A and B are shown apart, each in its own frame.
Chain A
Amino acid sequence: DAGVIQSPRHEVTEMGQEVTLRCKPISGHDYLFWYRQTMMRGLELLIYFNNNVPIDDSGMPEDRFSAKMPNASFSTLKIQPSEPRDSAVYFCASRRTGGGQYFGPGTRLLVL
């Protein structure tokens, strides 16, 4: 299995632009998570899905952030408009019920 796949691996954009991060979970995993990691705040859970349905989005910072999971093999995290304080590494992770999470390599986002 290829593991969790994220794209792009790196993104540099200017403040105000729209950013879309993509994730392909491991086949057969029924949970998908989006995290953000910074030096200041550590690892933060943004949102997670179960069977493609958003379960808890209480970690989403504000309305500029949105996430979708149109099917079991694809999810997006969108930031519109982006701000410099959104600069972070964004991780996608997936797991089966009862199992541990498997993380993707992350997308390193820099908003100038």
Chain B
Amino acid sequence: AQSVAQPEDQVNVAEGNPLTVKCTYSVSGNPYLFWYVQYPNRGLQFLLKYITGDNLVKGSYGFEAEFNKSQTSFHLKKPSALVSDSALYFCAVRDEGRGFKTIFGAGTRLFVKA
């Protein structure tokens, strides 16, 4: 069965510092991996995805994520955090070979202090 874990409920970082939001996954086949962001009172917004190819994926708003097959991880990163990055971040995984359901993590709340 496929699953995804976000080990941190909350991440705090100072503006201008690099940020990392962690995600690990489990699938039987080849994973499709996604990151979404949710701002207050809004729906989730797609940030980036990994399907195949380069392990470093670049997405919206300066975010990137690194796929690590041996560690089954897909951590979200940004070199320099902004206060406006404060939001709820969801990692998601889909085992494209075993159905079409995407499994979402519980979410990690990111606080960026000025």
Contact = CB atoms under 8 A, between A and B. Distances in A.
Contact of B101 (A4, A45, A100, A103): A45
B101 A106 contact: no
Contact of A93 (B44, B99, B100, B107): B44
A87 interface: no
A48 B96 contact: no
Contacts of A43: 44, 90, 104, 107
Given A43-B90, A98-B51, A100-B34, A31 B100 contact: yes
Contacts of A91: 43-44
B101 A56 contact: yes
Contacts of B42: 105-106
Interface in A82-109: 91, 93, 98-106
A50 interface: yes
A28 interface: no
Interface residues of A, number: 21
A76 to B, nearest CB: 18
B32 A98 contact: yes
B22 interface: no
A61 interface: no
19 contacts: A33-B102, A42-B104, A42-B106, A45-B102, A45-B104, A48-B100, A50-B100, A56-B99, A56-B101, A91-B43, A98-B96, A100-B34, A101-B92, A101-B102, A102-B46, A103-B45, A105-B43, A106-B42, A106-B43
Interface of A: 4, 31, 33, 42-43, 45, 48, 50, 55-56, 91, 93, 98-106
Complex A-B, nearest 9 residue pairs according to Cβ-Cβ distance, in ascending order: A103-B43, A100-B46, A103-B44, A100-B49, A43-B104, A105-B43, A106-B43, A42-B106, A100-B34
